[in-house]
Amino acid sequence: MPVRILLAGATGWVGRALAPAIAATADLALVAGVSRSAAGTAIGDAPVFASIEEALAVPSDVLIDYTKPNVVKANAAAAIAAGRHVVIGTSGLGADDYAELDALARAKGVGVLAAGNFSITATLLKRFTLEAAKYVSDVEIIDYASAGKPDAPSGTARELAETLAGVRRPATSRPIEEVSGVPATRGGSFGEGATRVQVHALRLPSFVLGVETIFGAPDERLTIRHDAGSSAAPYVAGTLLAARKVAGWTGVRRGLDTLLD
Ligand SMILES: NC(=O)c1ccc[n+]([C@@H]2O[C@H](COP(=O)([O-])OP(=O)(O)OC[C@H]3O[C@@H](n4cnc5c(N)ncnc54)[C@H](O)[C@@H]3O)[C@@H](O)[C@H]2O)c1
Ligand SMILES: O=C(O)C1=N[C@H](C(=O)O)CCC1
């Protein structure tokens, strides 16, 4: 029996790429969508509803959410409460939000996979960054995105920074508290003390989504960079992989890298 998918954000940029990909995949079936603008219509045989509550009345196994930063947490909580596994692509949530969703998911015995970036090459950037952090103390992140992106940092940069802060070596750079001038120009901090990670977010026309980790050591520098193009194609395969696997554990896992060997 195919995994039955409820897709929230079905008519958005990513949703429009996911819906046909799900329909073309034998072991997945799109059974319902959420889109306020397309409510009352259907995508193939799947009815489209105006709200997550209405869509959850249709039997399904997994919610895939590609909506908005101010919507995703409530959507995920509603789906968990209804006993659905959840795949979160939407950006905007951080470690505290995921701790709350983890408690809800464990209480209901369902799985959640949240990835700041479902592209395979962005996932490799995360892996290579975590590997380099074992050897090089000083690292900062630059987050590039379109002028209109509503959240900062990106989901990609946030997951990377929060993970990196848990494994990196202490920085040798001057603590932000000891910086004069305009300390905010040193970026936003994730983590605590000398192992916190600084993220610098740029929002400019011409970018879709890019992330750069820069490692500095005496007299040398390593830059690892990912840039996404203008289509949603890079996120489809990773999202579908997560939808297939998410019933395999209880609670929240973060990062597509947790599904790669
Ligand atoms: N994790 C990843 O790999 C990845 C990849 C691409 C985008 N994203 C993130 O996914 C999110 C969606 O991106 P997008 O470019 O598709 O956005 P989009 O604006 O094109 O689409 C979002 C959709 O959600 C709908 N929506 C808004 N409020 C809603 C609600 N209350 N219930 C249901 N649907 C609602 C909108 O109408 C829209 O169709 C963003 O946060 C983006 O940063 C993540
Ligand atoms: O276009 C966006 O918005 C994207 N958001 C994700 C993020 O916040 O990291 C990644 C992919 C594109």
Are residues 219 and 237 located together in one domain of the fold? no
Name the pTM for this structure. Answer: 0.97
- What six digits make up the tokens of 11? 């008519």
β-bridge pairing 111-114 and 85-88: parallel
Task: For the beta carbon of residue 40, count every other beta carbon within 10 angstroms.
Answer: 9
How many angstroms is it from 215 CA to the middle of ligand 2?
A: 23
Closest ligand 1 atom number to CA of residue 67: 24
Q: CATH number for the domain including 101? A: 3.40.50.720
CA of 239 to the centre of ligand 1 (A): 13
Please report which confidence band the pLDDT of residue 109 belongs to, taking 50, 70 and 90 as the band edges.
very high
How far does residue 220's CA lie from ligand 1's centre (Å)? 39
Ligand located closest to 229 CA: 2
Q: How far is the CA of 159 from the centre of ligand 2 (A)?
A: 12
C-beta separation of 137 from 170 below 8 A? yes
Same domain, yes or no, for 94 and 11? Answer: yes
Residues 244 and 196 in one domain: no
CATH number of the domain encompassing residue 187: 3.30.360.10
Segments of 115-193 assigned E as strands? 138-145, 188-190
Token pair for 224: 């690892």
* Residue 156 CA to ligand 2 centre (angstroms): 7
Asked whether residue 110 falls in the same domain as residue 139, the answer is: no
Please give the tally of structural domains in the chain.
Answer: 2
**Would you call 42 helix, strand, or coil by DSSP?**
strand
How far apart, in whole angstroms, are the C-alpha atoms of residue 113 and residue 84? Answer: 12
Tell whether the model's pLDDT for residue 238 goes beyond 80.
yes
Counting residues of the chain whose pLDDT is more than 70, the rounded percentage is: 100
- Regarding whether 246 and 166 lie in a shared domain, the answer is no
54 CB-near residues (< 8 Å, 6+ apart):
none
Check whether 36 has a pLDDT greater than 80. Answer: yes
Q: How many CB atoms lie within 10 A of CB 170?
A: 11
**Which ligand does the CA of 149 lie closest to?**
2
pLDDT band (50, 70, 90) for residue 165? very high
Domain range for residue 14?
3-118+232-259
Whether residue 40 is found in the same domain as residue 95:
yes
Average pLDDT score over residue span 171-198: 97
CA dist., res. 117 & res. 33, Å (int): 22
Average pLDDT over residues 59-85: 98
The reply to whether 192 and 142 lie within a common domain is yes
Task: For ligand 1, say whether the CB of 188 is within 6 Å of any of its atoms.
Answer: no
Judgement on whether residues 97 and 48 belong to the same structural domain of the protein: yes
Confidence of residue 261 (pLDDT cuts 50, 70, 90): confident
Can you tell me the distance from the alpha carbon of 20 to that of 210, in angstroms, rounded to the nearest whole number? 26
Q: Tell me which residue has its CA closest to atom 26 in ligand 1.
A: 67
- Verify that 239 and 173 share a domain, yes or no: no
Q: Which atom of ligand 2 is nearest to the CA of 153?
A: 8
Shared domain check, 144 and 98: no
Looking at the fold, whether 157 and 53 belong to one and the same domain comes out as no
Round the average pLDDT of the chain to a whole number and report it: 97
Do 187 and 207 belong together in one domain? yes
Helix axes 236-245, 120-132, angle to 10 degrees: 80
Mean per-residue pLDDT for 10-20? Answer: 97
Q: pLDDT-based confidence at 43, cuts 50/70/90?
A: very high
